[in-house]
Amino acid sequence: MSDREERIGLNGAAAIIGLSPEEVRRLVAEGRLRASANGDGNYVFSLSDVMDFSDDPGGRPSDPLSDPDDEVFEGEVIGDEAPPNAGSSSHLPAVPFERYERLLQQGQDYKTRLEERNRQMEEIRSERDAARTEIDRLWTEIERLNLIEYQRELQEKTISTLEGEKQKLEEERDRITEERLKLMEEKTTVSEEKTRLEAELKVMKSRGFWARLFSGE
């Protein structure tokens, strides 16, 4: 690049070509677009090289988001010298207003396509989340069915165990009932013996009173 050539930076080259800065770096790495590095290590391009590359349809990589009939910065560039107050060796060239409008329209189209892709991705995420929810529901249903089967088997075993326990409890109940009857009989006997003893004691007390009375004591 000669010192008299108009120079632009990476972002300026990307805007003119209609690609992202990363894609322009890839073009440089592949040797399809010339570039040099400034003192900061950033890419510097010759404006004429960038314009030639932009005007050559066969030199640009295919972009699935771009219309092959799109026109990017075609025509003659206005202004050969950098503005005196630029303060940098990298600047955008002065171009006719209609070219800026064309770039803005292409950017808007890209934004619209990007928003549409984001919308489609959001729909795909929603469908994925709905599918995961349905899978979780099915797994829960499967686990529930397996649990019901397990509960049925456990119930059968429990019923069998309870039948044996029931028989033991019935035998224990009969034994306790017999002991209770015996205790009730013993209680009746004791009550009768108590009544008899109380009657004899009363008679004995009564005899002692009359004996003391007639004996003069």
Residue 33: predicted pLDDT = 93
Q: Is residue 47 part of a domain?
A: yes
* Contact yes or no for 6/93 (Cβ under 8 A): yes
Residues above pLDDT 70, as percent of the chain: 72
Averaged pLDDT for residues 30-55: 89
What is the number of domains present in the chain? Answer: 1
Residue 62 has pLDDT above 70, yes or no: no
pTM exceeds cut of 0.85: no
Residue 84 has pLDDT above 80, yes or no: no
For residue 17, the domain's CATH number is 1.10.1660
- Quote the CA–CA distance of 59 and 183 in Å, as a whole number: 116
Q: Is residue 198 part of a domain?
A: no
Q: Is residue 188 part of a domain?
A: no
Averaged pLDDT for residues 56-84: 44
Q: Is residue 148 part of a domain?
A: no
Q: Is residue 134 part of a domain?
A: no
Domain encompassing residue 79: 7-95
Q: Is residue 73 part of a domain?
A: yes
